[in-house]
């Protein structure tokens, strides 16, 4: 339960930050136009959660944790 609450809190914080300012500074990079089923905020939540909670610092580690 604590894990879910931390994820929800992080998502809420990022949603607020993203809608106020971050959307002007963030850009998703992709080789094609397909953006997938994740929103930008959900993607940021997964990224920061992997770094903060799981201490994953390399892109490959973060990707493997999320997938």
Print pLDDT tens along the chain (67 aa). Answer: 898 999 999 999 999 999 998 888 877 666 656 666 778 888 889 888 888 887 888 888 888 877 7
User: How many structural domains does the chain have?
Assistant: 1
pLDDT for position 33: 62
Q: Is residue 11 part of a domain?
A: yes
Q: Is residue 32 part of a domain?
A: no
Q: Is residue 8 part of a domain?
A: yes
Structural domain harbouring 19: 2-27+37-66
Rg of the chain on CA atoms, in Å: 13
Q: Is the pTM of this model over 0.85?
A: no
Cα 47 → chain centroid = 4
Length of the chain: 67
Q: Is residue 50 part of a domain?
A: yes
Tokens 């930008």, located at residue: 40
Q: Is residue 10 part of a domain?
A: yes
Q: Is residue 58 part of a domain?
A: yes
> Which residues have CB under 8 Å from 9's CB, separation 6+?
none
């Amino acid at each position: 339960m604590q894990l879910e609450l931390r994820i929800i809190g992080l998502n809420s914080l990022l949603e607020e930050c993203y809608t106020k300012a971050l959307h002007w500074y963030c850009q998703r990079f992709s080789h094609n136009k397909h953006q997938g089923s994740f929103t930008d905020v959900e993607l940021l939540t997964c990224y920061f959660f992997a770094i903060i909670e799981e201490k994953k610092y390399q892109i490959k580690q973060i990707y493997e944790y999320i997938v």
